[in-house]
Amino acid sequence: MEAFLASFDELHGFSVARASGRPTGSVYPILARMEQAGWLESRWETEHPEPGRPRRRFYRLSAQGQTESRRVVQERRGRLPSAQTTTRPRPALGFIWRWVHA
């Protein structure tokens, strides 16, 4: 969720896995459940990929997904001891934050 909230663009599944530090075998089922719940919208890459690379599926948060993801992330951050000592929320996926805002 944080990867999507930190990005202003669509993300493909492998980039979400890389950003979250989770294996693709656990990320893709989560993306499918989020899409089923109406939190994500997806589309298949229309351009021809490089030889030897399959087409990518791109995901982005729906309006409902943005609202719910913010709520979940804020709720979870509120439970972390470090979140109570900082004055401004900081993304757990800091390198994405820096990449998006560079």
Q: Taking the domains of the chain in order of start, what are their residue ranges? A: 2-46+54-82
Least confident window among 21-25, 73-77, 94-98 = 94-98
User: Which fold would CATH assign to domain 2-46+54-82?
Assistant: Arc Repressor Mutant, subunit A (1.10.10)
Per the prediction, the chain carries an average pLDDT of 81
Q: Does residue 88 have a pLDDT over 50?
A: no
CA angle centred on 59, ends 53 and 63, rounded to 5°: 170
Percentage of the residues of the chain whose pLDDT score is greater than 90 = 48
DSSP assignment letter at 52: T
Residue 40: strand, helix, or coil: strand
Q: pTM higher than 0.85 for the full model?
A: no
- CB proximity list for 94: less than 8 A, separation 6 or greater: none
Q: CA-to-CA distance for 21 and 13, rounded, in angstroms? A: 12
Distance CA 73, CA 79 (A): 10
